[in-house]
Amino acid sequence: MALTNHKFLLAARPVGMPKRSDWTYTEEPVGEPKEGELLVQLLYISLDPAMRIWINDARSYMPPVGIGELMRALGVGIVTASRNPRFAVGDYVSGLFGVQEYALTDGRGVAKVDTRAAPLPKYLSVLGMPGMTAYFGLLDTGQPKPGEMVVVSAAAGAVGAVVGQIAKIKNCRVVGIAGGAEKCRYIVQELGFDAAIDYKAAPVSGFLRRHCPEGIDVYFDNVGGAILDAALARLRLGARIVICGAISQYNNTGPITGPSNYLSLLSNRATMKGTLVLDYVDRYAQAGAEMAVWMAAGKLKSREDIVEGLATFPETLLKLFKSENSGKLMLKVG
Ligand SMILES: NC(=O)c1ccc[n+]([C@@H]2O[C@H](COP(=O)([O-])OP(=O)(O)OC[C@H]3O[C@@H](n4cnc5c(N)ncnc54)[C@H](OP(=O)(O)O)[C@@H]3O)[C@@H](O)[C@H]2O)c1
């Protein structure tokens, strides 16, 4: 029987939070692989804050998704047909397959994953792009030293939770900033952070004064806005700020709010530097091997927030921007 592929195309450039009408949900027959190609049935699709950046008509580290084009997404799945010698039917793979059920690909950028080593969703989570972002963003850009004070925002999320645990492994003191009592409990009691700040309960600056009396050595920023400003005001001499993301700003209809406390960089001879996971592709395997050891030793944990059904994509994506996801957000398909 002929297979049908369902997929989401970008219909319009969203203003503010993306709406269902910004997407087209469509179907087509599944094609046969040509020489050199393989067919992947998607099993899990990664939903990432960066998707909001990819659908803006603006210059970034990747070209924007065009109107009428398949929505870009990382995913993991199983090879169901192959005319590419590198891949066999039954292989589990990860790649940039898009928001759809089946992907035909020439295999470029596709990697095999070992489901005996870890369950498939982990390859979109701690052993996938968010884990790599945390590993290289913290260790390469943040350069934490034992005994230093590391603060991370969106600390219960896919990237933040891994940042905090790696900082603990490196013998730092770690404070996580997260929204709500449950996420704060999770990062302290289950992940071993030293303290948590609930930014929804009261202004962050007061909590930072209490938890970081001598200041912050490394601030790993996932959210931007007022929380970045509060961290800037508490830097220690020689501090490093890692700019990983600014999710509080992604759905702005006006200009992004920049930090006003930036002169703290001058007085503290501090640095603020962007980090991009794609710069480290050549080192993913080395980082993955090290993180797998930490996972096996119980030092590195992750949780995944898995929502069933491709058709829920427009609404499920918004969980990221409404603080409704608990861990790495992904869709289960197939
Ligand atoms: N530079 C790179 O290469 C790279 C790669 C991957 C991700 N990133 C960035 O890393 C950040 C985290 O991504 P992720 O995949 O790990 O997402 P995530 O943390 O799993 O989910 C997003 C979280 O952001 C928090 N949030 C949403 N709106 C907020 C607001 N207005 N103020 C403060 N917090 C808010 C929410 O947590 P609370 O419940 O705690 O509010 C939400 O759960 C994003 O900024 C993303 O763009 C960068």
Give a yes or no: residue 291 inside a domain: no
CA angle 179, 201, 318 (to 5 degrees): 30
Which of 247, 281, 304 for mutating ligand 1's site (highest number of atoms within 8 Å of CB)? 247
Residue segments in the chain with a per-residue pLDDT below the cut of 70: 1
In this prediction, residue 146 carries a pLDDT of 98
Together in a domain, 170 and 105? no
Give a yes or no: residue 221 inside a domain: yes
33 lines ligand 1 (CB under 6 A): no
Tell me which residue has its CA closest to atom 46 in ligand 1: 245
- Phi/psi for 171 (5° steps) reads 65, 35
When divided into structural domains, the chain yields a total of 2
Give a yes or no: residue 287 inside a domain: no
3-state SS, one letter per residue, for the chain = CCCEEEEEEECCCCCCCCCHHHEEEEEEECCCCCCCCEEEEEEEEECCCHHHHHCCCCCCCCCCCCCCCECCCCEEEEEEEECCCCCCCCCEEEECCCCECEEEECCCCCEECCCCCCCHHHHHCCCCHHHHHHHHHHHHHHCCCCCCEEEEECCCCHHHHHHHHHHHHCCCEEEEEECCHHHHHHHHHHCCCCEEEECCCCCHHHHHHHHCCCCEEEEEECCCHHHHHHHHCCEEEEEEEEECCCHHHCCCCCCCCCCCCCCHHHHCCCEEEECCHHHHHHHHHHHHHHHHHHHHCCCCCCCEEEEECHHHHHHHHHCCCCCCCCCEEEEECC
Cα–Cα distance for residue pair 326/54, rounded to 1 Å: 23
> At 16, which CATH number?
3.90.180.10
Between the CA of 5 and the centroid of ligand 1 the distance, in Å, is 30
Together in a domain, 111 and 135? no
Together in a domain, 253 and 312? no
Closest CA to 302 of 111, 156, 133, 113: 156
Together in a domain, 115 and 142? no
Q: Decide which of 237, 263, 278 is a domain's last residue.
A: 278
Together in a domain, 241 and 118? no
130 lines ligand 1 (CB under 6 A): yes
> At 150, which CATH number?
3.40.50.720
Give a yes or no: residue 73 inside a domain: yes
Between the CA of 154 and the centroid of ligand 1 the distance, in Å, is 5
In this prediction, residue 260 carries a pLDDT of 95
Give a yes or no: residue 273 inside a domain: yes
Between the CA of 222 and the centroid of ligand 1 the distance, in Å, is 5
125 lines ligand 1 (CB under 6 A): no
Together in a domain, 36 and 167? no
Together in a domain, 189 and 236? yes
Between the CA of 108 and the centroid of ligand 1 the distance, in Å, is 28
In this prediction, residue 2 carries a pLDDT of 82
Together in a domain, 164 and 74? no
Between the CA of 129 and the centroid of ligand 1 the distance, in Å, is 13
Ligand 1 atom with the shortest distance to the CA of 156: 40
In this prediction, residue 334 carries a pLDDT of 75
Tell me which residue has its CA closest to atom 38 in ligand 1: 179
Give a yes or no: residue 172 inside a domain: yes
* Boundaries of domain holding 138: 129-278
Give a yes or no: residue 298 inside a domain: no
Together in a domain, 80 and 50? yes
Together in a domain, 148 and 224? yes
160 lines ligand 1 (CB under 6 A): yes
Tell me which residue has its CA closest to atom 31 in ligand 1: 248
Give a yes or no: residue 288 inside a domain: no
Together in a domain, 202 and 178? yes
In this prediction, residue 1 carries a pLDDT of 65
Together in a domain, 216 and 317? no
Distance set, CA 274 to CA 90, 129, 195, 235 (Å): 39, 16, 25, 17
